[in-house]
Copies of this chain bind each other. A is one copy, B any other.
């Protein structure tokens, strides 16, 4: 039971997939912050593979939107603009409404137990770091998606949820995870009862409130370095070659 679902489309067990998983996790746990550089050499060396493999992994992550790739430039962890973040949440809401619609009243006892166990884990993690809480909360939703038994749905929900995870780390204030946990419990309960309308409503408002609580404003005045802070703005600029600020200490 190493992998829950080994869809044939991706994530078998070749080196590329291994590196993808490792990087993905590092990114969503903020071990790698948005904007962090990901040179192929360094990755290859770190994971004991050649640049070819590292490069391929970066390509996959770029397709998922977690990494930004620009020709002849070092890959960096994606820095979604506020607008993109909002978009991702909107899409996520629709997808997850579909998930719970499919699940309402159809969960086995074992599945309900699994969900409850996960929320318990979230509860226990409340004392830990924000990053872990966010990751667990995200994984709750992915767990739900898995239960639909639809690989496609799993893929899209995972992807968009990871994206949201990433943006939360960018724009969120240190939020209270408590209500999210309660909302998770409410969702499980409504799913078990089979109240489709209610569970869809719960999920909608749950995600909407997470988004609204988190995506406070398009003013990322956090302690990050200038380049990171400016990056979302540079996003809007159509020109490929943006502002070109005067000499400033760059990261690294």
Contact = CB atoms under 8 A, between A and B. Distances in A.
A9 B152 contact: no
8 contacts: A9-B68, A12-B69, A16-B59, A65-B155, A87-B152, A94-B95, A94-B97, A95-B95
A203 B9 CA distance: 29
Interface string A188-231: 00000000000000000000000000000000000000000000
A91 interface: yes
B8 A153 contact: no
A84 B14 contact: no
A124 interface: no
A87 B52 CA distance: 34
Copies of this chain present in the complex amount to 2
Contact of A68 (B8, B62, B68, B69): B8
Across the A-B interface, the 10 shortest Cβ-Cβ residue pairs = A94-B94, A87-B150, A63-B63, A87-B152, A94-B98, A9-B65, A8-B68, A12-B71, A88-B152, A9-B62
A235 to B, nearest CB: 8
B153 A87 contact: yes
A10 interface: yes
Interface in A117-167: 150-153, 155-156, 160, 163
A30 interface: no
Contacts of A14: 71
Contact of A90 (B55, B70, B71, B98): B98
Nearest to A62: B9
A59 B59 contact: yes
